[in-house]
Structure 1
Amino acid sequence: MSFADLGLSPELLRAVTEAGYTEPTPIQAQAIPVVLAGKDVMGGAQTGTGKTAGFTLPLLQRLQPYASTSTSPAKHPVRALIIAPTRELAVQVHESVKTYSKYVPLRSTCIYGGVDMKAQVAELKRGIEIVVATPGRLLDHVEQKTILLQNVEFLILDEADRMLDMGFIPDIRRILALLPAKRQSLLFSATFSDEIKKLADTMLRQPQLIEVARRNAVSENITHLVHPVSSHVKRDLLADILNAGADGLGQTLVFVNTKFGCARLARHLQKEGISADAIHGDKSQLERSAALEAFKSGAIRVLVATDVAARGLDVDDLPYVVNFEIPGTPEDYVHRIGRTGRAGKQGAAVSLVAPEENYKLVAIEKLIKLKITQQEVPGYGPETTVEELRRYRNGHGRPRAQVAEDGFDFNRPYDSASELKPGSKPRPPRASSKPASKPQIAADGFDFSAPYVAKSAAADKAEASKAAAQEQAGGKQKSRVAFLLGGARKG
């Protein structure tokens, strides 16, 4: 089957061909005819299977009769609303819309939080048919009356299960209340849950369920591997794996659970000589975009991310995904590893699992119905301490590489701070800073600070005679002084 067999317009077929696609994926082959028929859809497919094009292409064809080259904003009301849970996914969807609408005069824009609204407001004022938005920023525009939704005919919820996980369902319900009741609605998600089906019941009318794979399935192009390791030496193991020469990992996306741990791990890898950056919710949109672009272009080798990047991050031929920490919910494992093994290419998912995370691993294996191979790395066991790792490294000639940019080797012992500069000569040892002990001499001339030497009896007798003579001379001197002062001399 080709895209031409799906009934797409020549303009869309031309754009698809120029994008390099010839045959539709299973989700595209099933969803596109149903959407073109005007039916509501509840679509599910494992991530990386092309479901974005599965709703973008038929949406553009349904809107093509409204296409206009007029500059009047009134000719370009908002007719289609695509809601995505994260900024990254919204940007990715908007890129697809722009790619496939290349030869169709339909206007589109992407609005999300973390940036100034002024540019978005100016874009909306000129007239836009297709709006891709995150829930929070869309409601901001609604409250400021910078967007009107009364003409919306098509609503698409992408990654609806992630909306649920991120607490966006109340916002989604508010948005649904603002839309016309008569519309075509599509709900797409990589995974389904009972809660998602309840949401679908409130927004879809007699939807057609399309699933091209069993629920919560993972791509067969991805190999899974677990390294049991103590949480105390996880960072060291990750650095060793990334730095293992020809056998090491190439471009890698590393997932952690917290924003603090994300930034800290990226700094650690940088100190290990690995080009890495971090992306998490506390970073500005500009910083996040810069990190993503550097990773996609290959300027950095490792991107450390929280689950904010689990959706919407599309990197061509990403070979590795590493779970530095096991996610809190098994479904997030499916989304994380879905960043690799996309579009029929091979990928690998490596997980570093500490003993306290074993219960999470069991839940993941139960969800994906797969027993993951476990492989313990020599020197890194589930009970390994930092001291044991240090002894292992020293015993196997694998000390931690800690060489600064100026060539100073932190592994080599040094005597003083003067050696911190390469080529400097060691300084002579400093004199003691403690003051010398003060002499302790008695009135009779005895030096208490000098070593004691025992004297003979003759020496003692001579010293006693000398002392007696001094005492007698002193008595005469006292009498002479008394006489001069007018005292009487005794006979």
Structure 2
Amino acid sequence: MLFTELSLSAPIQKALADMNFTTCSPIQEKSLPWSLAGHDVMGKAQTGTGKTAAFLLALFESLINESAPDERYAGEPRAVVLSPTRELALQIEKDAIELNKYLNLHIVSLVGGVDYDKQMKKLQAKHVDIVIATPGRLIDFCEKRYVYLDQCEVLVIDEADRMLDMGFIPQVKRIERYCPRKDCRQTMMFSATFNNDVERLGERWMVDPARVEIEPKSVATDTVEQKLYMVGSDEKLDILKNIISEDDVNSAMIFANRRDECRRLHDELRHAGYKVGLLSGDIAQNKRIKTLEAFKKGQLKFLVATDVAGRGIHIDGVSHVINYTLPEEPEDYVHRIGRTGRAGTSGTSISFACEDDAFRLPSIEKLLGGKLECEHPPESLLKGL
């Protein structure tokens, strides 16, 4: 389906043309006819399938086609998008700003780790139309009476499964209670999985939602070559250094499970002379943004990250992803390796399996639908051992 077949408003069509968006992705093609007609939508789709544009297009069209309330106050958004992480919220804001190119909607992001006063000034500068927020920061603004959600016409909950994993659901429930009743608003909820908990949330927050499920053609992209090295835990650091010193490694994201592990790994690599940055939940947001920009510009060649910090990051040109530790959740393996092999290019993922985490392999292989061939690292990577 072409976007021109959806009868979108002229300013949106023009913005999509500038973004070189012509053909709908499967999640857009299946969800937009429902959401544009005002129905609640419960969508199952992986990160990177175009779901952000799917809910933003419906959200924008709703605000354009419905007149704003005659009496409005500062801090009363007409639409709210909830995201589990700061990085994803800022990515959604970036996409929303592009779609807003020929409109005059006021978009504000409210995320932790960013200057509170700056966010408040932007919020109060003029009537806000769209708030894109992480749950904790939004509740903070609501409790201090800087934000009121009683006029919310559209509520979007993105990555509901990740909200559950990160323990945010009690906060999301509070936010939902601040909004108008479910039959007085449109609600869209997207999740990579429809487990029992997500299903119950959908029943509680939505009215007869259209259910849209997009199963990925391939869980792991065909453009990523996957390698699995059996290593000892005491060998990993030296092997990693040898890998990232090879000529074909233009840039790499290196994933570990815990913040302290990432920090220790970052410090080791930096002291060894590598141009490396760190992304984890305990790093101040302004520093994380600077680190991402430096990585995008090539000023940093390597990035050490946790799954929470790395999810939702879209950077073209990452040649390698290295799983220093195997992820605790199989889905995170797919999210990690999806950071490379983007925009039609090929990429390589290299995973280390040692005595501490090899037990996670079967669940990863079950999700992938096939075996990951284990091999010993080649001799070139064993230098210094």
Into which bin does the TM-score normalised by the smaller protein fall?
A: over 0.9
Residue 108 of structure 1: CA displacement?
Answer: 0.7
> In the aligned structure 2, how far is the partner of 1:31 from the partner of 1:164?
23
Instruction: Say how many residue pairs are matched.
Output: 381
Alpha-carbon contact 1:113-1:137 (below 8 Å) kept: yes
Residue 356 of structure 2 aligns to a residue whose secondary structure is helix
| Deviations 1:178-214 (CA, angstroms, capped at 9, x unpaired) | 1111111111123332222222221122122212215
> In the aligned structure 1, how far is the partner of 2:114 from the partner of 2:243?
37
Q: Determine which structure has greater relative contact order: mean sequence separation of CA pairs < 8 Å that are 6+ residues apart, divided by chain length.
A: 2
1:287-302 aligned within 5 A? 287-302=287-302
Residue 4 (structure 2) aligns with:
4
Residues 215 and 309 (structure 1), Cα distance of their counterparts in 2 relative to 1, 3 Å cut: farther
Residue 200 (structure 1) aligns with:
202
Alpha-carbon contact 1:49-1:343 (below 8 Å) kept: no
> In the aligned structure 2, how far is the partner of 1:76 from the partner of 1:7?
31
Residue 111 (structure 2) aligns with:
112
Structure 2 gaps of 5+ residues are none
Residue 148 of structure 2 aligns to a residue whose secondary structure is coil
> In the aligned structure 2, how far is the partner of 1:117 from the partner of 1:7?
39
Residue 350 of structure 1 aligns to a residue whose secondary structure is strand
Residue 100 (structure 2) aligns with:
101
1:434-473 aligned within 5 A? none
Residue 255 of structure 1: CA displacement?
Answer: 0.7
Please tell me the root mean square deviation across aligned C-alpha atoms, in Å: 2.3
Residue 223 (structure 2) aligns with:
221
One-letter amino acid of the structure 2 residue matched with residue 184 of structure 1 = Q
Residue 256 (structure 2) aligns with:
256
1:132-281 aligned within 5 A? 132-181=132-181, 182-213=184-215, 217-245=219-247, 248-281=248-281
Alpha-carbon contact 1:230-1:380 (below 8 Å) kept: no
Residues 195 and 380 (structure 1), Cα distance of their counterparts in 2 relative to 1, 3 Å cut: farther
> In the aligned structure 1, how far is the partner of 2:370 from the partner of 2:7?
39
One-letter amino acid of the structure 2 residue matched with residue 84 of structure 1 = S
> In the aligned structure 1, how far is the partner of 2:156 from the partner of 2:77?
13
> In the aligned structure 2, how far is the partner of 1:284 from the partner of 1:264?
17
Residue 312 (structure 2) aligns with:
312
Residue 85 (structure 2) aligns with:
86
Alpha-carbon contact 2:252-2:301 (below 8 Å) kept: yes
Residue 334 of structure 1 aligns to a residue whose secondary structure is helix
Residue 363 (structure 2) aligns with:
363
> In the aligned structure 2, how far is the partner of 1:320 from the partner of 1:50?
23
Residues 192 and 341 (structure 1), Cα distance of their counterparts in 2 relative to 1, 3 Å cut: farther
Residues 192 and 237 (structure 1), Cα distance of their counterparts in 2 relative to 1, 3 Å cut: farther
| Deviations 1:442-471 (CA, angstroms, capped at 9, x unpaired) | xxxxxxxxxxxxxxxxxxxxxxxxxxxxxx
TM-score by length of 2: 0.92
Residues 58 and 341 (structure 1), Cα distance of their counterparts in 2 relative to 1, 3 Å cut: farther
Residues 76 and 12 (structure 1), Cα distance of their counterparts in 2 relative to 1, 3 Å cut: farther
Residue 140 of structure 1: CA displacement?
Answer: 0.3
Residue 231 of structure 1 aligns to a residue whose secondary structure is coil
Residue 122 (structure 1) aligns with:
121
Residue 235 of structure 2 aligns to a residue whose secondary structure is helix
> In the aligned structure 1, how far is the partner of 2:62 from the partner of 2:83?
20
Alpha-carbon contact 2:253-2:320 (below 8 Å) kept: yes
Query: Considering only CA atoms, is the larger Rg found in Structure 1 or Structure 2?
Result: 1
| Deviations 1:80-126 (CA, angstroms, capped at 9, x unpaired) | 10000011000000111110011112111100112332222222222
Residue 356 of structure 1 aligns to a residue whose secondary structure is coil
One-letter amino acid of the structure 1 residue matched with residue 169 of structure 2 = I
> In the aligned structure 1, how far is the partner of 2:356 from the partner of 2:163?
28
Residue 318 of structure 1: CA displacement?
Answer: 2.7
Residue 332 (structure 1) aligns with:
332
Moved more, 333-342 or 168-177: 333-342
Alpha-carbon contact 1:46-1:218 (below 8 Å) kept: no
Residue 39 (structure 1) aligns with:
39
| Deviations 1:398-422 (CA, angstroms, capped at 9, x unpaired) | x59xxxxxxxxxxxxxxxxxxxxxx
| Deviations 1:299-326 (CA, angstroms, capped at 9, x unpaired) | 1111000122232211124332211111
Structure 1 gaps of 5+ residues are 382-388, 394-398, 401-491
Residue 370 of structure 1: CA displacement?
Answer: 2.2
Alpha-carbon contact 1:192-1:216 (below 8 Å) kept: no
Residue 102 of structure 1 aligns to a residue whose secondary structure is coil
- State yes or no: 1:51 paired with 2:51: yes
> In the aligned structure 1, how far is the partner of 2:196 from the partner of 2:314?
28
Residue 357 of structure 2 aligns to a residue whose secondary structure is helix
> In the aligned structure 1, how far is the partner of 2:33 from the partner of 2:74?
28
Alpha-carbon contact 2:251-2:317 (below 8 Å) kept: no
Residue 29 (structure 1) aligns with:
29
Alpha-carbon contact 1:46-1:216 (below 8 Å) kept: no
> In the aligned structure 1, how far is the partner of 2:319 from the partner of 2:66?
42
Residue 238 of structure 1: CA displacement?
Answer: 0.9
